[in-house]
Structure 1
Amino acid sequence: LGLDRFAEKSATNIYERIQAARRRPLARVLNALGMPHVGWTTSEDLAKWLAPKLPDKPRFADALRLLREASAEDLQAIEGVGAIVAKSIYDHLHDPEEQRGLDRLAEANIEVVPPVVRAIAASSPLAGKTVVFTGNLENRSREDAEALAKSLGAKVTGSVSAKTDLVVAGPGAGSKLEKARQLGVKVVDEATFEAMLR
């Protein structure tokens, strides 16, 4: 009966981390599950794949059901997910010990917020743009800002080049800001970036 000590501790830790906020971005919830080979980028890829399949006001239980119904081949067909990662996800979701912890999370009625669908992103001012963030942001975390930009169709990179379309610079911006100016890349502050999203 119940989980072994390690699995129980792991499930409890995940449960407590997600329960800290009952309504979370889907990619963050997936990332918190601790699936092997699944980091932030793959969690975002999974969230984008799940988004159009989820009902209105989705719960984690809805996302879990869809993931469990997917075969390893279905998962491998997701953009950004290869054979090794797909098998790892499938095995994790169907492992008896992991299933107990996942079922516990599903029963908690955690609301998940799927990423913005592509149809909306295509009409955004960031659609198709390559964006770089540098310096400190005051209104949201760097991770949230990057996730938001991606959800609106932007490609976010960590370095400035001639292919960069926009640099969002906050206080403390250094070499990236200097390089953007040298290359003639458009630079905006956080307030201007926020205004672009409205």
Structure 2
Amino acid sequence: MKLNDLLKENKIVAFGFDAVKDLVRFDNKDSENTVIISTIAPSLLVRHGVNEYYGLELSKDTVYKTGLDIIKADIDVSKYRLHALEIYPLEKQQDFVIASRHEGTIEILKNEFPFLENAPVYERVEADDIKGKHVFGILPHHLIPECDLYTSISIKGFDYVKDNDIKGVELIERIHIAETPIMLEKID
């Protein structure tokens, strides 16, 4: 589905960077249906009680400053169902993968979780790399349904250009490791 069609038919609640939040100016204020759109990590949506949302399929190389910039790009959106796992099944406590290109994050994960010590680390992942695995790290929305479980890692206010080598106390103060793994199902 295209974002522009979603906006024409629905009121929206938006989570993400400023241009995404700006999209609420362009929704259908007369619609009786409200949907959620997001670019933030699904584990953060859990905190807001979200269990279904539309993920925006944004190009990594494009910068969007306003909601209108996103609308002009006529991007695709996919609908997802989110399941937070409060109880962690024993059979899922295996086949771990780290998805991160940030050395400090990888170091913290391996220190915090000894079972990740020998886990493969991928700077960039393909669906086959994570199928049937429990992934710790950062994945785009469209890849999360490919893994069995996903534990999101984020760094508050991270900018790869200026924070590439962030380590130590500063990293520890800014890193967020999701409390529970999630399962994400693409439904549309």
Q: TM-score normalized by structure 1?
A: 0.24
Task: Give the number of the structure whose residues are more often strand, by fraction.
Answer: 2
- Name which structure has the greater RCO, CA cutoff 8 Å, separation 6+: 2
Task: Give the number of the structure whose residues are more often helix, by fraction.
Answer: 1
Q: TM-score normalized by structure 2?
A: 0.25
